[in-house]
Amino acid sequence: MIIKFLGHSCFFIQSDDGTSILTDPYKSGAYGGALTYEPIAESADIVTLSHEHEDHAELNSLPNQPLIIRADCRALGLVFDVVDTFHDNVGGKERGANRVILFSIDDIRIAHLGDLGHILTPEQVEKMGEVDVLLIPIGGRFTIDPDQASQVVKQIHPKIAIPMHFKTDKCGFPIERVDTFLQGKSNVKRSPTSEVVLRKEDLSQDPSILYIPPSN
């Protein structure tokens, strides 16, 4: 399986047989130019959407017309599970609902947390089940912050946690940079490239955090 981090909360994920998934595609120039990642050029078979904000649900500028996943379903031989959460810590009153979307590719179970805004309940953790790769927001203000993200990692206990939704030179949001989350952790691996290859047999039983730099 290939995972390429395009930026913000958007990953391009491709299975060994070529099936591809794009998560939370952003709009280049969203929010008055606060988000300046390059337009998405990757054509995917499937797009998953955690919520409908323009930095997570830009469909009009994609180079093709993929299948769109917002609910539990089966598509192209893959099973998608959705766990309902919130975009804030007050039951959605400030920013609405958020979907955690889970699916398996090449026998690797992936969970994309979208813009999760709170610590998970035991019921939500149980519904998610075992997770191999956790794509987790860490920037704070609009999502869980670095400390809360660390708690959520402990709740889910994935084999690999990959941070997303953090401040970069192309993200002008008032959120934390990734190093705030990584600071003081001993189990951090840093990819030199924006694209990594993961195989089930290579996943360690010792949880690790994998930083992938954005490509766009």
List per-residue pLDDT tens for the chain, 216 residues long. 999 999 999 999 999 999 999 999 999 999 999 999 999 999 999 999 999 999 999 999 999 999 999 999 999 999 999 999 999 988 988 899 999 999 999 999 999 999 999 999 999 999 999 999 999 999 999 999 999 999 999 999 999 999 999 999 999 999 999 999 999 998 999 999 999 999 998 887 677 999 999 999
- Give the number of domains in the chain: 1
Residue 186: what pLDDT?
A: 87
> What is the CATH classification number for the domain harbouring 195?
3.60.15.10
Task: Tally Cβ neighbours within 10 Å of residue 79.
Answer: 11
pTM over 0.75: yes
Residue 97 lies in a domain: yes
* Rounded Cα–Cα distance for residues 50 and 35 (Å): 18
Residue 67 lies in a domain: yes
Residue 30 lies in a domain: yes
Terminal C-alpha separation, the chain:
20
Q: Which domain holds residue 134?
A: 2-211
Residue 17 lies in a domain: yes
Residue 182 lies in a domain: yes
Residue 216 lies in a domain: no
Parallel, antiparallel or unpaired: strands 133-137 and 108-112:
parallel
* Rounded Cα–Cα distance for residues 58 and 106 (Å): 27
Residue 115 lies in a domain: yes
